[in-house]
Every structure is written in C-alpha cells, then in structure tokens.
Structure 1
Amino acid sequence: MIEPPSPPQSPSRDQDGDQDQSSEFTQALRGLRVWDPQVSALPLFDVDAAPAEPLPLFTAWFGEVVAAGEVEPHTMSLATADAEGRPDVRTVMLHDVDERGWHFASHAGSRKGRQLAARPYAALGFYWPLLGRQVRVRGRVTVEPAEVAHADLHARSTGALAAALVGHQSDVLSSYEELERASEAAWTRAEREPDVAVPSWTAYVVEPDEVEFFQGDARRRHVRLDYRRGVDGWSRELLWP
C-alpha cells in the first residue's frame, strides 16, 4: 500500500532563526550608503585633462586620497590564478610604483608566489571610498633580483622582518601556540640580526598592459578612463559605467 505524502512541515525554530538572521543581514546590507553626498561631495574627473600615460594620474590620485585622510590607501587587492586557472585574491601592500610598474613583495613559496611562478600575470585593485575612486591594473609579473628584495625587506620595520623570518606562509599550521613560539624566536633574531637574509622573500613588479581609473558619481554617472599599452605606447578610451 502506498502511503500518502506527508503534509509540509512548518519551519523549525532553527530554520526560523536562520531566516530571521538572513533578513536582518539583508536589511542591514541594503541600508548602507555608498558615497553619501551629504557627507562629502565627490570630485569631478576631467578626462580631457588626464595625462597621456597612467603613472602620473595614479600618483596624483594617490596624493589626493592621502590628503583626504583615506585609511591605508596603499593596500590593494592582488588577484592571481592557480595552475588550473582558478582565480585567487588577497590584500597586500603597495611597496612602490614607477615607470616599470606596481611593486609588492611576498614569499616565493607562498600560495601567491607559487601561482605567479606558474602563471606570471596578475591584476591589482585599489579602492578609495572617501573620494569614490578605484584603480585597476593588469599585466605581466616579473621578479626582481635578490638584492632588491633584500633591500626592500630591510627598509621596513622590525616587525616586517620578524614576520618574514617566521616563513611557512600558506602552509598548514598545527596550532596557534606553534605560531607564537616561531614568532617570538623570529622577533629575537630580527632584533639581534637586523640585516639577516630571508632567501624566500621575493620582490615582484606588475608591468601593466591596462590601467583603468574609475571616478564614482552620486547619480551613478561614473567615469571610467581605460589606458591600454600598445606597440606605439598608451592609448585611452572611456568605458560605460
């Protein structure tokens, strides 16, 4: 004998709780403002006055967001791809920018280091919400000589050197206590040997093929100026927002 289907059950308390939490999260999310014109007016972007190459514009924008009080404007998203082509992203620090490109550093054996060794291309993303600005960079990644990486690391703080000495970045950690012990030993060594070498520390440069500048607008009339490098130098074009 075939049993009749059971009537649908009402959501359990846990399900109700999940639904309520999801609803509260969605409401909070939708209540957030972006570039509130009542707080500050966003700057205009005169693309006709933009330079012929992206580097002067980047340094000008960077100076303006620093002057505006942007928090950690030198942080950037670094996107890479693994051997199967699956994307990966994390936040790193910009160490310099010059005619060659955008500079950063990490351990060669880290996840990003291994991915860049297999696929030496990357994308960078800067977001500066105080002025409603973004900058996107894409290009080939090259490795600097070891002496450049050494100088880069030792121009930074004792804490940066200690963190580099800990090493094992992206490896599995058995316990937090193991990290504490390694960190204490690294700090002691960094203070005792301030010029100690860290062979795995690697300096990278993203040599840009494309750099896009995005200026937000409170009425969503965002301005996007895209620079692309060709055989004859840089070209510029506007993009729809």
Structure 2
Amino acid sequence: MTDIRAYLRGLDVFAGELPAFDPDAAPDRPETLFVDWLTTAVEAGVREPHAMTLSTIGTDGTPSARVLILKNVDAHGWQFAAHGSSPKGRDLAGHPAVALTFYWSQQARQVRVRGPVEPASAQDSAADFLARSAGSRAEASTGRQSRPLEDRQTLDLATKQALERIAEQPDLVIPEWTLYTVRAEQVEFWQADKQRKHTRLRYERHGDTWTRGQLWP
C-alpha cells in the first residue's frame, strides 16, 4: 500500500523558472496588477486561467467552496454569475461576502480577494445569461443545481427539454440568474520562492483609495 504521506512529500513544487515580482514597483490599484498576472498566465499556456475558487458561508456558518469562472474585473470589482436559488446563491443571500482564490501553478502565483458582494442590475444579469452558450443556459434554466439526481436518463431528458426551450425562445432569461460583483476590501498577491522566502503584497481599501504593504511569508 502506498505511503500517502511520503508520496505527497515527494511531489515536486515550484518547478521550473519562476517569474520575478518586485512589490515596490507594483501599481497603485490591485486590479491593474491582477490583469497583468492574468495575462501572463494566459501567455504561459495556463489552462482556465480565469478559473477561481469561490468561498462562501452558509446560514449555518459552515464554509463552502467551488470553482467558477471570472466574468470581469475592473475598478468596481471582480464579477461572477450564479443561479440565485443554487446553494451559492442562497449563501450569498444570507451572508453577502466571499473570498476568491486564483492559483497559476506555472508561475507559482496566487491571488486572494476578499470583500462584500453586490448583485448587478437585472439588465446586466440578463446580458450575462444571454452571453452564455446554449448548453449552459439550458442547464441553468432547469434550476435544479445540487439537488439529488435519480439517474442519468433524468438529466438527459431535462437537458434535452431545456435545449428545445432555448431554441424556441432564444431571448429567454431566467429571473434568478444573477451577476455578482465582489467589491474587494483586501487583495493579496503571493509569489512563491524556491527557498520559501515567498513574496506577499497585500492591498487594502480605504474608501476609494488603496494602500499596500508586504507581509511575512
């Protein structure tokens, strides 16, 4: 039987050449640095570089995490979308604050975003829904995410019916679909170092301005 502890310790980390990161030369705003790191990950061939872990808190106080796709980032915040009646939608209704985590292994870089969440307007949420693929809209329109599934045939039939409905009503928008904006209060950039002298730079919001400072590894 494999010794998992030894197996895990034997796996390589921070392999290859790591990029340089000078926190003193960082821009004034975190979204600017984030876009720079994101595009660097894209150019390096990172798969799904816009994938992020969304962490929420349930009404019972239990944390929950799952991977979603980032929809946009600008001076207003980081955006993602979800069905309002899904588990994450219910979490956000009861506790409208989240943490986002991005990790790009080729660069050994991590970005952590924390802050309150605000739902976008119905118009903006509808535009996001209509920009999704037909299959994605069909899945979301069933409104059954995370519910128990009897068998695969039930899923196949529901998907087929939903796709037919989307084809007949191409402008169909489900009212529960919501675009959310994370108005970040803290954003931390972490650059790994092979000697474990990792570089950490944290931005903190104060009204409409940001301060930044380094942290111990």
Q: Which TM bucket (shorter chain)?
A: over 0.9
Q: Per-residue displacement from partner, 1:82-135 (whole Å, max 9, x unpaired)?
A: 112211111111011111111001110011100110010000000000101000
Gapped regions of structure 2 (runs ≥ 5): none
DSSP-derived class of the 1:205 partner: strand
Q: CA RMSD in A?
A: 1.3
Establish whether residue 211 from structure 1 lines up as the match of residue 187 from structure 2. yes
For residues 128-167 of structure 1, the aligned pairs below 5 Å read: 128-167=104-143
AA of the residue aligned to 1:205:
T
Aligned to 1:9: none
For residues 61-76 of structure 1, the aligned pairs below 5 Å read: 61-76=37-52
For residues 42-191 of structure 1, the aligned pairs below 5 Å read: 42-191=18-167
Aligned to 2:200: 224
Q: Per-residue displacement from partner, 1:55-90 (whole Å, max 9, x unpaired)?
A: 100011111110010110011000000112211111
Give the paired residue count.
Answer: 217
Aligned to 1:11: none
Distance 1:170 1:154 in 2: 22
Runs of 4+ in 1 over 4 A off after TM superposition: none
Gapped regions of structure 1 (runs ≥ 5): 1-19
Larger CA Rg, structure 1 vs 2: 1
Aligned to 1:202: 178
Is residue 137–residue 166 contact of structure 2 (8 Å, CA) maintained in 1? Answer: yes
Distance 2:142 2:155 in 1: 8
Is residue 130–residue 173 contact of structure 2 (8 Å, CA) maintained in 1? Answer: no
> 1:151 Cα shift?
0.4
User: Alignment identity in percent?
Assistant: 45
Distance 2:83 2:200 in 1: 34
- Alignment TM-score, normalising by the size of structure 1: 0.86
Distance 1:98 1:207 in 2: 10
DSSP-derived class of the 1:131 partner: coil
> 1:232 Cα shift?
6.4
Distance 2:61 2:188 in 1: 23
Distance 1:159 1:137 in 2: 30
- Alignment TM-score, normalising by the size of structure 2: 0.96
